[in-house]
Structure 1
Amino acid sequence: MQKQFKKEQEKWLSQIDLNNHFQPNDLKLVAGVDLAYWSKDGKEYGVCCIVIIDYITHAIVEKVNYYGEITVPYISGFLAFRELPLILKAAEKLSIEPDLYMFDGNGYLHARHMGIATHASFYLDKPTIGVAKSYLKIDNVELKEPKNEFGAFEFIQTEDEIYGLVLRTRKDVKPIFVSCGNWIDLETAKDITLHFVNKNSRLPITTRFADLETHAIREKLTSNQ
């Protein structure tokens, strides 16, 4: 299974483009994506929620979800194969087309540059950003903590290239990890992430609202079982 998954990742690798395929000033609608899981009778289930946010007003424009059985086991480095089926089914339910997707997870910040945000871009055909709450170490690279102030960041890089950045979105709060998904540059990914951060959370409201929605839907589904 891993060999097949790795081959799929390698197929897309040459098609990653870390340049903007859009004008940031033209952004109108941005989607946040997250998943939640639960088990029942020896089977695992998941729900994907997508929340579309107005870029200017930060109002929620649309919410959709899709749930089903998870058939792919968790394998480190291959999370996209576990999550993508639910993500694509949820995206099919959208009546509005977002300009960009933000994922609760990594993109280019991945051992093979194929985190969920990057992998999903080829199927959604949209620019993507990865926003993660924790750091999965790349080539034993240790993190350098950013200054304790809003907007401070440090690059996560090997000797050869930059994978992403660790970003401080609130003073005295743990930083988050931002990376390009695809068809966007890292500076724009950082600026869009900061644009959606408010005083209530260190996370951008796109992925935060998607996270809250997944937990609400999961509770509703499991309470009826």
Structure 2
Amino acid sequence: MNQLNILPPEPFNEETFDQIQQELVQRINLQNSFNKEDIRLVAGVDLAYWEEEGRTRAVCCICVVDYTTHEIVETKSLQDEIKVPYIAGYLSFRELPLILDTFNQLENDPDLVMFDGNGYLHPRHMGIATHASFYLNKPTIGIAKSYLRIQDTDYEMPASESGAFTDIVIDGEIYGRALRTQQQVKPIFVSCGNGIDIDTSTEVTLALINKESRLPIPVRQADLETKKHRAARR
């Protein structure tokens, strides 16, 4: 993993967070940094939060899936207190430390990482999928279950068939896609994280869909794991 500083010195504030993101955004690569034929393992990442004795805690779950067989290869989970305050638009700073600590537990090295959240589809193109890529040194994809509205731009609903999509274009630039992964189910919102293009992000996402969910398998499994861990704490 990259040894970039994850967080600036305290106190944490929007100004210092913004400065880091403005530096990182210059390094985003929306082209494939890999050969699609080499994808073997894909990881899905999700977090869930709860309050415990007046403190905010979270669990990060990472599920590694075989890209070809869809079999679950490995699942790791880690809980910790979250000390970075919530600042709208800068959620990645709150989540990154726990995500990276959880990644360090993996016994398998994924070729690509999908996040339950946005990537390039973000006001500064720095959703968690994009931001985390600079520390993981891996191509990443953002998979969001709901639409993050940017500059009052709505998305156009894709046709009701598997694989149908509409591009989310803001100021002439593609931020992401509304993608229908199953016929007559709500679309998901796919965006590049880093080191991958939007067409490949879409292709990989669709290749990891099964009949159980509109979400790709790695993200779906990570989401189920986080819910299970959070429920056990209540």
Fold shared by both chains (TM-score > 0.5) = yes
Aligned to 2:15: 3
Aligned to 1:189: 201
Letter in 1 for 2:53: D
Aligned to 2:8: none
Deviations 1:125-166 (A, max 9, x none): 100000000111111111110001100000001133110100
Aligned to 2:228: 216
Aligned to 2:149: 137
Query: How many Å apart are 1:112 and its aligned residue?
Result: 0.2
Aligned to 2:189: 177
Q: Give the counterpart of 1:158 among 159, 164, 170.
A: 170
Query: How many Å apart are 1:74 and its aligned residue?
Result: 2.1
SS at 1:64's partner residue?
Answer: strand
Query: How many Å apart are 1:40 and its aligned residue?
Result: 1.1
Aligned to 2:43: 31
Query: How many Å apart are 1:186 and its aligned residue?
Result: 0.3
SS at 2:135's partner residue?
Answer: helix
2:86 and 2:183 mapped to 1: Cα distance? Answer: 34
Q: What 5-or-longer segments of structure 2 have no aligned partner?
A: 1-12
Alignment of 1:1-225 (within 5 A): 1-220=13-232, 222=233
Q: What 5-or-longer segments of structure 1 have no aligned partner?
A: none
2:158 and 2:86 mapped to 1: Cα distance? Answer: 31
Alignment length (residue pairs): 222
Deviations 1:88-126 (A, max 9, x none): 000000111100100000000000000000000000110
SS at 1:194's partner residue?
Answer: helix
Query: How many Å apart are 1:217 and its aligned residue?
Result: 2.1
2:86 and 2:205 mapped to 1: Cα distance? Answer: 27
2:16 and 2:73 mapped to 1: Cα distance? Answer: 38
> What percent of counterpart residues are identical?
56
1:211 and 1:136 mapped to 2: Cα distance? Answer: 19
- TM-score where L is the length of structure 1: 0.97
Letter in 1 for 2:135: Y
2:31 and 2:223 mapped to 1: Cα distance? Answer: 28
1:160 and 1:172 mapped to 2: Cα distance? Answer: 29
Letter in 1 for 2:159: K
Cα RMSD for the two superposed structures: 0.9
Query: How many Å apart are 1:210 and its aligned residue?
Result: 0.3
SS at 2:42's partner residue?
Answer: strand
